[in-house]
Amino acid sequence: MPFTEGLEALIGKKGRITDTEWLVLIEARRKLIKPHLDSFTLPILGSLKCLRNELSFKHEIDCDISVSGGDQRFSLKTQGFFWAQPWSAVERISNSGSCNWPGYVACPDGTMHIWGLTRSGLWVLVTIEFVGESGYKERGYERAKSVKIFEADLRAIIEKTKENPRHMWSHLGAVIKSFAERRKCLYNQALDLARMVEIEELALSIVLGK
């Protein structure tokens, strides 16, 4: 197996990995994935479930909004892998949106950041401005009112999302493993079909005496 930039960076390394070294590892993973992105089945940005809907449930971005601003190369239809920032890092505005009255669930207005890797291999940073509404049975609903998408570098993404670099690296690794599992499943299905064809052809040759 050939060495990757990520493997080279890890060989001989002991102890704590610095933020700069994590950036190298994450970028190495992007380079590892990029040549294969065209063969992946990728979701669109708008299908990401990240906005609150009835306490612990979440709904897709494009349930609320169909257009986006920012870099015109991107839209809610952009394909790729996308992840919302940690829930605790979402910026919420005090005393806004649906207030926390007795018997009601607080659902303030706020800003959420999303990071992702597009089919073309570009890092993107997505900013969603949302308003907090009372929602179904006063359980809270975060409604997207604007979405802006820009190409960004890793440092800017980490700064805005407050994402743990190790988690970013792990997310990308999970993508590769999931892709391998799907390919393995498809291969096994194709192999079963080929075996059935061989059995049928053998049966036919016996029937025909050939």
Q: What is the pLDDT of residues 174-206, one digit of tens each?
A: 988 888 888 888 888 888 889 888 888 888 888
Using alpha carbons only, give the angle 153, 43, 68 rounded to the nearest 5 degrees: 60
Q: At what angle do helices 19-33 and 154-161 cross, to 10 degrees?
A: 110
Q: What is the rounded average pLDDT for all residues in the chain?
A: 88
Residues facing residue 149 across a β-bridge:
70, 126
| pTM strictly above 0.75 | yes
Which residue type is seen at 86? P
Q: What is the pLDDT of residue 1?
A: 47
**Span 5-26, pLDDT tens digits:** 666 666 666 778 888 889 999 9
